[in-house]
Chain A
Amino acid sequence: GENVEQHPSTLSVQEGDSAVIKCTYSDSASNYFPWYKQELGKRPQLIIDIRSNVGEKKDQRIAVTLNKTAKHFSLHITETQPEDSAVYFCAASLEYQFYFGTGTSLTVIP
C-alpha cells in the first residue's frame, strides 16, 4: 500500500502569518491528494484537494502544491486566523482508498 509521511507534527504560528505543512508519498500511482481539517472529536473535513495532473491549486487563503516527480505535496495557509487551529491531515489516494499522513497540530496564536 501507500505510505504517507507528514511534517511537522506540531506547528505554532502568530495570527496573520503563513503556515506550511508538507507531505511525501511513496506510490507513484497515487493520483489524488486531499487535505483534511479535523477538530477535536469531529469528523475530518475536506478543505482542498489536488489531482495528479495539476501542479497547484488555490482557494482563498489555502493553496496546495504537488510535485509528482519528487512525490511530495504541501499545504499553504496564508493570513492565518485562530479558527484555523486544528489538526490537518494530508492523504494520498490509490484506487479510491485514502492513506493518511500522521497529522499536523496547528495552533494559531492570537
Chain B
Amino acid sequence: GAVVSQHPSWVICKSGTSVKIECRSLDFQATTMFWYRQFPKQSLMLMATSNEGSKATYEQGVEKDKFLINHASLTLSTLTVTSAHPEDSSFYICSARPPWTGDYGYTFGSGTRLTVV
C-alpha cells in the first residue's frame, strides 16, 4: 500500500532555533500534500496545502513566515518551523494521495512530535 513517511518522528529543539520536518511519498508522486497540526488531545488542524513547484497556500491564521513549506519535488515536501517557541510544540502530520486510490484516498504520514524547550 501507499506509504507516506515523515522524518523525524520526534524532535526536541531549543527556543529560537528552526526545525525541518520532511514528508515523503515513498511509492508514488504527489503534486499536492497537506500539513496538519495536532495539539494534545485535540483535533487535526489543516495548516497549509503544499503544491509541487509553486507556493504553498496557508489556512487563515497560520503564519507563512513561521511555517515555511517547500515542495521541491514530486515526492518530498518539507515544513520548517522557524524561530520555534514552546507554543509551537505539537504533533505535525502530513498527508498525500496516491493516484490509484481515487480522488479522496489521502493517507497520512507517521507524524512528527515537536517539543520546543
Chain A residues with a Cβ under 8 A of chain B = 1, 6, 32, 34, 41-46, 49, 51, 89, 93, 96-103, 105
Chain A residue with the shortest CB-CB distance to B107: A46
Give the size of the chain B interface in residues (CB under 8 angstroms): 25
| Min CB gap B24→A, angstroms | 14
* Chain A residues near B45 (CB-CB < 8 A): 100
Q: A42-B111, A96-B32 are in contact. Are A89 and B103 (CB under 8 A)?
A: no
CA distance in complex: A10, B49 (Å): 30
CA distance in complex: A105, B45 (Å): 17
Selected contact of A103 from candidates B42, B59, B110, CB within 8 Å = B42
Selected contact of B43 from candidates A41, A51, A102, CB within 8 Å = A102
Chain B residue with the shortest CB-CB distance to A105: B41
